[in-house]
Amino acid sequence: MPSPAPGAVVMDCRGLDALIAALQTEGYTTVGPRLRDDAVVYGEIDSTADLPAGCTDVQAPGHYRLHRDGEPGFFRHTPGADSWKRFFFPPRRQTWALRLDNGVFRPVSGEETVPRYAIIGARACELAAVAVQDRVFGGQPYRDDSYRARRAAAFVVAVHCGQAAATCFCDAMGTGPRCEQGFDLALTELVDDEGHRFLLEAGSARGADLLAALPTRPASAAECRAAAAASERARAGQQRRPAAAELPALLARNPEHPRWSETAERCLACGNCTLACPTCFCSDFEDSADLAGGVAERWQQWSSCFNASFSYTHGGSVRGSTAARYRQWLTHKLSGWVEQFGSSGCVGCGRCITWCPVGIDITEEVAVLAAHDGERATAAADSA
């Protein structure tokens, strides 16, 4: 397990408050983990007082419980249903509006205001998910300038995980648990006899500049070892270990596997997995006009390949059954995505496992496919 980079420094809780305040002074809206409805979600934070102190969580297929044990620490939870996706790719966004002006529809003027988010507490799998969406929205020829502007304006303070949920599998997917790139600053939370403090590493020049202005001291060799041990604890604690390199070919080989129909008997086609997934990017557009006919608007909103209407083309939906939709999601995520974007669409965060109301587990699904590789249903999944 790699150790912290040379030059790591340490700050205490007042230092972390100073970091948040410095980001606010630079004009950033500081967002991080906080509690809402007995769950950790991401939202605006003013200081460390807003962080989920004394909390951890228990996750399993179809199961999430916040656990308030009162132990010191702000970042002892693992990622919940929320993700950073919605800060860069909002669930609903107006893409244009027209207003009737002397008998002619004219664009409602005004550039989209680009928020400047400083995200605090992004984990390694989440940085990998942001990098996946950067390729989806930032590449050619289909570039999303709104997404790119939000990303370019963001400052990222990452947190190296010190624990894993039962649903995590970032180690198998090669995305964690240590944050290796995509951050301006990365911190490891340390709590021991020496107190509650944070070991920080800079990941960019602007991160280093900010760090230089904050109250820190050089990290000791013991603190660097403790940070490396925290990452090792998060790695060793992972129970799910799908063979990531074999998944693209496995999925591509098994479009007619009987498992698709078996899983579809349980799947509610609710789309929770796609909304919680930090890499899923499907959206729909909706046009509307006011009753007087003077204003027309177009809105983009998150959608899901589990919606029957999502694949609707002239005359009907291409994927008419739940089996076909589940197959589409999993095969695209783990196989087609690699061809399309150069990486898996799964970063191993485990959200789709935890937040599936019937506990369908992506790692169990691929294990069954692998164990019965090449089996074919008597009827294709589309007709299931």
| Residues found near ligand SF4 in the complex (CB under 6 A) | 267-273, 276-279, 306, 333, 346-352, 356-358, 360, 362
- Residue 297: burial class (beta carbons within 10 Å; 0-12, 13-18, 19+): middle
Least distance CB 41 / ligand SF4 (angstroms): 16
Nearer to ligand SF4, 13 or 60 (CB): 60
Residue whose CB is less far from ligand SF4, 231 or 331? 331
- CB 43, min distance to ligand SF4, A: 20
Element (H, E) at 235: helix 221-236
Provide, rounded to whole angstroms, the least separation between the CB of residue 172 and ligand SF4.
10
For ligand SF4, give the closer residue by CB, 51 or 384.
Answer: 384
Q: 267-271 — which CB contacts under 8 Å span 24+ positions?
A: 267/306, 267/322, 267/326, 267/358, 267/360, 268/357, 268/358, 269/306, 269/307, 269/308, 269/322, 269/325, 269/326, 270/306, 270/357, 271/304, 271/306, 271/307
> Toward ligand SF4, which CB reaches closer, 182 or 207?
182
Q: Where are the beta strands (DSSP E) in the chain?
A: 9-12, 29-36, 39-44, 55-60, 63-68, 92-101, 104-107, 117-122, 155-159, 185-192, 195-202, 217-218, 283-289, 295-302, 312-313, 316-317
- Closest to ligand SF4 by CB, 210 vs 277, is 277
Min dist. Cβ of residue 378 to ligand SF4 (A): 23
Instruction: Work out how close the CB of 169 gets to ligand SF4 at its nearest, in angstroms, rounded to a whole number.
Output: 7
C-beta of 78 vs 254, nearer to ligand SF4 = 78
Backbone φ, ψ for residue 233 (5° rounding): -65, -40
The CA-to-CA distance between both ends of the chain, in Å, stands at 46
Q: Output the smallest distance, CB 6 to ligand SF4, in A.
A: 32
Collapse the DSSP code of 181 into the 3-class scheme (helix H, G, I; strand E, B; otherwise coil) and give the result: coil
Q: How far is the CB of 346 from ligand SF4 (least distance, A)?
A: 3
For residue 49, give Cα distances in angstroms to 44, 54, 74, 253: 12, 11, 9, 51
Angstrom distances, CA of residue 257 to CA of 234, 320, 378: 34, 17, 9
Alpha-carbon distances, residue 148 vs 74, 126, 152 (angstroms): 30, 17, 6
* Residue from 42, 236, 246 nearest 130 by CA: 42
Return the number of the residue (212 or 268) whose C-beta is nearest ligand SF4.
268
Give the separation between CA 178 and CA 182, rounded to whole angstroms. Answer: 12
Cβ-based nearer residue to ligand SF4, 269 or 295: 269
If the CB atoms of residues 53 and 276 are measured against ligand SF4, the closer one turns out to be 276
**Min CB(269)–ligand SF4 separation in Å:** 5
Q: At what angle do helices 259-266 and 362-371 cross, to 10 degrees?
A: 150
Least distance (Å) between residue 214 CB and ligand SF4: 33
